[in-house]
Amino acid sequence: MIPLVLIFGVMLILKSPGLSSLSNPAQSTSIALGFILIFAFLFGKQINRLRLPQITGFILAGILCGPYLLKFLNVSEVKDLQLLDGLALSLIALTAGGEMTLKKLRGSWKIIVSIVFFQTLIIISGFLLFGWLGKNLFSIFSGLNIAQVMAISLLLGTLATATSPATTIAVITETQSKGKFTDLIISSAVVKDFFVIILFAFSLSISKFFILPSQAFDFAFLAHILKEIGISFGTGIAVGAGIVLYLRFIKKDVPIFILGIAFFTFQISMNYGYHPLLICLVAGFCVENFSSQGERLIHAIERISLPIYVVFFAISGASLNIGALRQSWILALICVTWRAVLKYAGTLLAVITVKEEKKIGRYAWAGFISQAGVTLGMVIIIEKTFPGWGDELRALVLAIIALNQIIGPVLLQKLFIKVGETGKKKE
């Protein structure tokens, strides 16, 4: 706590009106980067003591120090530091792909596929219904026709489907959980994020047609969607092959190589209109499952990712417009509650379909509430694709993520206690 107070005090002095040392924009951004890196990291540690994920602390630190509250970071500095977004998102997607191993999926693939399918179907259908019923009630839909409302609802439903494997792993590690429920939840979370990123690529391309006036819907447009997905898949395989060759034959300065690949892949793919999350996800999956270099890749990412993730989540919080957020909280609470209901319904239907234990249907839904990196990455891409209302959607989704990051780990921990799987790794 003392280091946290000290760094906070130093920034108060540096940002005082009488001090002119921050008049140079480049110097100001450098100091802002150093401050938010240290402050958000320490704040995350304090939040973790409350049995909440550090990611929640990073986001809250950014909100607190951002241009809409304490103003330790101004709008220009936040915008400059968003350059790291692409790097963080690529690393998150590489990790998600690397965590999905075919070996773990073989034993329980029926229930995993069933959960992913029915949760996705029910959640997206539920949010499309939500948009249709609420088109005249919420400001995010104001001034839009029904097709545009459905497009936004499709994107919201896609985002709502995602679960956070990182948060799930953090809770499993903390509770020392092991068993059928533990394996089912982490495997389903990783498979679902893999599927959701593919689904997001389709949803984003389809939404462009309904929202952007320049788009025209015809068979050529559908072919263009398939082309985007196909090229992204092919590029992901090529990137994965390149990573394998480097890790196998060159082996030097691996973290630097991974950083370069991650940043380059994101920037180039966004520039040409392809799907960077899908590319990196496929690359990580190929390295993990079709080579012997998967462990080395994940280890290299772990060595370099923490400071990047700290800044990424903190800046995401700092960019949150508090004025827009105040208008979004009621809608965010409604979305969080509705999403939880749909998660429960989807899990229960999945269990009934494959005739699994009823206990899984009653309890397992609580393991799919948390949201974090992949969801945030997708909403950032939506914001860049649809300037204007994308800002409001980002504020709404950040509020939803913040609530789910507080509620989700608590529910997951109670789930593991309820089914008796905590403390098993110590035995």
Over 70: is that where the pLDDT of 48 sits?
A: yes
Q: What is the pLDDT of residue 72?
A: 86
Which whole number is the average pLDDT over 307-326? 79
Mean pLDDT of 75-90: 83
pTM of the model: 0.72
Q: What are phi and psi of 163, to 5 degrees?
A: -125, 160
Per-residue pLDDT at 312 exceeds 90: no
**17: pLDDT strictly greater than 70:** no
What is 312-340 written as a DSSP string? HHHHHHHT--HHHHHHHHHHHHHHHHHHH
pLDDT of residue 200 exceeding 80, the answer is yes
Which of the pair, 89 or 128, is modelled with greater confidence? 128
245-249 mean pLDDT: 92
Mean pLDDT throughout 216-225? 60
pLDDT of the residue at 2: 78
Alpha-helical regions (H) of 162-293: 165-175, 180-211, 219-245, 254-271, 276-289
CA 163, 169, 171, 177 torsion-angle sign = positive
Question: How many of the other CB atoms lie within 10 Å of CB of 363?
Answer: 20
335, two tokens: 């979305």
pLDDT of residue 126: 94
pLDDT of residue 423: 72
Angle, alpha carbons 285-56-320 (nearest 5°):
100
Q: How far apart are CA 174 and CA 409, in angstroms?
A: 11
Q: Which domains does the chain have, with CATH numbers?
A: 2-83 (no CATH), 84-426 (1.20.1530.20)
User: What pLDDT does 302 receive?
Assistant: 82
Least confident residue range of 9-23, 265-279, 323-337, 361-375:
9-23
CB 368 within 8 A of CB 167: no
Residue 425 clears pLDDT 60, i.e. is over it: no
State how far the Cα of 59 lies from the Cα of 348, in Å rounded to an integer: 32
Confidence of residue 424 (pLDDT cuts 50, 70, 90): low
Which tops the pLDDT comparison, 79 or 226? 79
